[in-house]
Structure 1
Amino acid sequence: MARIPQTTFRELADRYSTILFDAYGVLAGSNSVEPEAPAAVELLHTLNKPYFVLTNDSSALAETRAASYGSLGLPIDESRIITSGSLLTGYFAEHDLAGSRCVVLGPPDSLRYVEVAGGCVVPYEADFDVLVIGDQSGFPFLEAADTVLSALFRKIDARESVSLILPNPDLIYPEGDGFGFASGSVALIFESALALRYPVRPDLRFTRLGKPHPAIYREAYSRSATMDMVMIGDQIETDIKGANDFGIASALISTGVTGYDVSQLPESERPDYLIESLAI
């Protein structure tokens, strides 16, 4: 296979009309920013270069995330932040879920995403039509998971329909010097239990909205009005594959999750570029 070219952030900024960033592992974590991120964002402001943050995080509204970035010295307006949680609005409209009773596992902003989409949020102990896993935190995990799983079993046994929605498919995320489980791992727990109890029901799976699925890239295209974009991300399975599948350029950064040789990956998962960091 051809060698993947090494490049720099400045070269990507000069080459493409619009820059797309992943958030965690590329720009910032929960309580800190990547060292080169402020200068990289300032460069784009100086060049008047369009850019967007495409994040699978559905635990924080765009305005919440923008305020957090600002407090860390990273001035990014909320209009530049596209979250997987925001995709719920289109999904609820497309599938006529407005007014549905929704159990949401996640912090308050995850619940707010569902309310904005038209869902009626109910406590996890209540009956529901829709289950949304918004995050791996913000709720009593074992108590809520056990209660919701038992309710799912009862509803399926009674042949009632239920929609399972996962805005953020990420399994892990970088945090400081380590890693944490993300909401995609929570969904896998539910799916494993459902598969064990209902082995002939492969349909009992969550609908995944965020990267690598196309909806978040379509939103970036809608806002930028160009396919001349490059996605800078740290995860092959989400950032890179999603960009490749959508037909835009991809650059794998070494500051996040992926820590292995990617040169032998299949074409759909190979980045167009490798970059060490956002250093200019």
Structure 2
Amino acid sequence: MSRFIDAYDAAMFDLDGVVYLGPDAVEGAPASLAELRSLGVKVGFVTNNAGRSADVVVDQLNQLGIDCGLSDVVTSPQAIAQVMRRELPDGAKVQVCGAQALADEMTAAGFTVVSDFTQEPVAVVQGYDPNLSWPSLDNAGFAIQHGARWFGTNTDITRPTHLGLVPGAGAQIEALRTAVPDAPITVAGKPYPPLLQETIKRMQASRPVFVGDRLDTDIEGAHNVGIDSFLVFTGAHGKKDLVSASPRQRPTAIGWNVEGLLEPRRECSQGGGAVVCGAARAWTSGSVVQIDGPLTSVTEQLDALWAIVQLTWRDGSLDATETLDALQLLP
């Protein structure tokens, strides 16, 4: 039986919540990525996180037993730098509201990095900063109010870690937004196209699939560049998020973790108002979704979930709450 990945020549991976959680590899990720490479699949790593440089990401992946070179990693600071190079004059003054990794990327792109709005920057670029200070936000706001263009690496509201979710770049951007509510912002990271477009170009991929844990960034980002997507359940979003997902946030396929890429594609059949996936059968009783079949393993519960979402995506008025509660092995 063919594997899901057999339909693609490249797999692009989000990092936080997909490949690792904080300092630890997600279970199954190192072995699965090695197997993908052995099959001749191009592997690339894509991160919205602007708090760390690509070099740091490469070092972490290699320490986790995941083979990775610098060309395999594409970051949101790299992507926004390319956007800004196209839209700003060479050597333009840019004020950075973010981590040192973002400032370094601006310097590498040929911009003149300044630290204060009184230096008359033509642009402010904002990215996740684990040591963000209010004076830094204030200063960025002053620059934008004095006419500087606003660029952002990404808008992820949260970041998954091994301890739980924490506020992300999107939360920091929204804090600044309160001071400049009408200012437009240009963003590179998922779900906006530039980051994934840069990755596809670098990988020279013709049939890529994007693997992520967030519907609003990873899956919607894949939709926005016209490629397939694969949702895993090791990070931010879970079964209830999937059931209520809007059309542009619905993945092509799901799996517990990245090992699912090496498993057969999860297929559904429909008939008589019911949806069958594996040994699971989902149907409706009035406006309530019902399920039967074995639910003792993660695989069986994923089959049931995939059957359930085919019904709820078709009819958004259906209630699957109690049915989802029975899938206790899924987040």
How high is the TM-score relative to the length of structure 2? 0.72
Quote the offset at 1:29 in angstroms: 3.0
Name the CA shift for 1:248/1:152 in 2 (closer, same or farther; >3 Å).
Answer: closer
Contact 2:51/2:102 (8 A) holds in 1: yes
Task: Give the stretch that moved more between structures: 91-100 or 77-86.
Answer: 91-100
Note the residue ranges of structure 1 that are not aligned, 5 or more in a row: 1-9, 156-160, 196-201
Distance 1:12 1:19 in 2: 11
Distance 2:173 2:135 in 1: 16
Task: Give the stretch that moved more between structures: 36-45 or 256-265.
Answer: 256-265
Larger RCO, structure (CA 8 Å, separation 6 or more): 1
Aligned to 2:149: 163
Q: Does 1:113 align with 2:105?
A: yes
Deviations 1:117-156 (A, max 9, x none): 22111224653222111223244x1222233334544x2x
How high is the TM-score relative to the length of structure 1? 0.85
Contact 1:44/1:51 (8 A) holds in 2: yes
Quote the offset at 1:58 in angstroms: 1.9
Q: Aligned residues, how many?
A: 257
Of 11, 34, 37, the residue aligned with 1:42 is 34
SS at match of 2:50: coil
Distance 2:65 2:83 in 1: 34
Quote the offset at 1:261 in angstroms: 4.1
Quote the offset at 1:264 in angstroms: 4.2
Aligned to 1:22: 14
Distance 2:184 2:24 in 1: 34
Of 171, 192, 203, the residue aligned with 1:213 is 192
Note the residue ranges of structure 2 that are not aligned, 5 or more in a row: 263-331
Deviations 1:65-111 (A, max 9, x none): 10122123222112111111111332122112432222212222111
Contact 2:97/2:126 (8 A) holds in 1: yes
Contact 1:105/1:138 (8 A) holds in 2: no
Aligned to 1:59: 51
SS at match of 1:193: coil
Aligned to 1:132: 125
SS at match of 2:258: coil
Please tell me the residue identity of whatever aligns with 1:165: F
Q: Does 1:272 align with 2:263?
A: no
Aligned to 2:221: 242
Identity between Structure 1 and Structure 2 (%): 24
Distance 1:97 1:240 in 2: 33
Of 204, 211, 220, the residue aligned with 1:232 is 211
SS at match of 1:262: helix
Distance 2:248 2:170 in 1: 21
Quote the offset at 1:15 in angstroms: 2.7
Aligned to 2:324: none
Distance 1:121 1:21 in 2: 31
Quote the offset at 1:250 in angstroms: 0.7
Of 95, 98, 103, the residue aligned with 1:103 is 95
Please tell me the residue identity of whatever aligns with 1:18: A
Distance 1:93 1:143 in 2: 27
Distance 1:267 1:168 in 2: 21
Please tell me the residue identity of whatever aligns with 2:175: I
Aligned to 2:180: 194
Deviations 1:226-279 (A, max 9, x none): 441111101111110111121111111111111224234332211111111123
Contact 2:80/2:152 (8 A) holds in 1: no
The structure number with the bigger radius of gyration is: 2
Contact 2:128/2:168 (8 A) holds in 1: yes
SS at match of 2:3: helix
| Aligned Cα root-mean-square deviation (Å) | 2.0
Distance 1:168 1:186 in 2: 10
Contact 2:123/2:144 (8 A) holds in 1: no
Deviations 1:28-48 (A, max 9, x none): 133221121111111122222
Greater strand share, structure number: 2
